[in-house]
Amino acid sequence: MAWNLGLLGASSAAAGFVGVAGYVAGGEETENGSRTTTVDRFAFPDDTRSSLATGLSTARAESAGFFDTSVAGYVAGGTDGSSEEATVDKFAFSNDSRTTLATGLSAARRTLSAFSNPSVAGYAAGGQAPSRVSTVDKFTFPGDSRSTLAATLSAARFASAGFSNPSVAGYVAGGQEASRVSTVDKFAFPGDFRSTLGTGLSSTRRQLMAFANPSVAGYVAGGDTGSVVDTVDKFAFPSDSRSTLGTGLSTVRRLGTGFANPSIAGYVAGGGDDSTAVLSIVDKFAFPGDSRSSLAVGLSAPRRLVAGFENA
């Protein structure tokens, strides 16, 4: 299913430009505890959950996900609890079978972010290796060859969130430099030139979650400002102007992930609150009004530090 940016928007559901499923991969099932290989799949439009028969190639957390619509989803980097990984697992959407790319990240790292330009490339940005980095790796579809962008993040940063407006730009929002930041970097496609938005997040924060409605807006949810918040900031395309939703997450949350069904809804899955709780909640924000509900069926187990991607 190819993007048709002329049709995406309020009428795209009727035109058939809706997604197939969202995925949530890996993570920790307890605070500083056991990591998992589990990949949960939420089938659109009824949001029913199943778990893939084949999960990640190793039990790991702090990875990031990107995707090529109708082709495959990818889970990049992370940690098994003892060291960072450069591994990139690929899940073919035709049958959700997993392979592992022969060429992984340019360096092993965790707490990275990712964004996608479907049918063109996926990007893995920043992270810790173990010190924070500004590197942005690019995996060109369909061969998955890796290069590293000449334009890095505006500063070495980890615990950010990535989202994209396909064919237009990818974004990396917030995170931790020497301290928490509100910075949003923008990488314009196809040249991958970086700029930094004049208006960043509504607060400095890290450990964020993000999703996007292509050609309409990108959303950055939750995170840690020093305390955990339920805030959802919205960046309207193409102006990148920011507003903040009147209704935030159903609970203060960080360390989860996001995915979306274009023109239908965005989802924020898993994570942890400001105590030691690990959550299985999946919040759903219905487009275009951004009203929030929570799925009756959440993740197959509570987990945080998860990666998300979509076939949409």
Res 33: pLDDT: 76
Domain hosting 164: range is 24-311
Closest alpha carbon to 163 in 71, 266, 250, 93: 266
Res 273: pLDDT: 87
The count of structural domains within the chain is 1
Which are the contacts of 83, defined by CB distance < 8 A and separation ≥ 6? Answer: 108
Asked if the structure places residue 68 within a domain, the reply is yes
Tell me the pLDDT tens digit for each residue of 227-272. 999 999 999 999 999 999 999 999 999 999 999 999 999 999 999 9
Asked if the structure places residue 44 within a domain, the reply is yes
Asked if the structure places residue 2 within a domain, the reply is no
Q: Which of the residues in the chain have pLDDT under 50?
A: 1-16
Asked if the structure places residue 134 within a domain, the reply is yes
285 in Cβ contact with 265 (< 8 Å): yes
**Residues facing residue 132 across a β-bridge:** 128
Q: What are phi and psi of 12, to 5 degrees?
A: -70, -30
Sheet strand arrangement including 291-294: 257-261, 265-269, 282-286, 291-294
Res 9: pLDDT: 31
CATH of the domain at 160: 2.120.10.80
Q: pTM for this one?
A: 0.94
Closest alpha carbon to 171 in 270, 182, 249, 180: 182
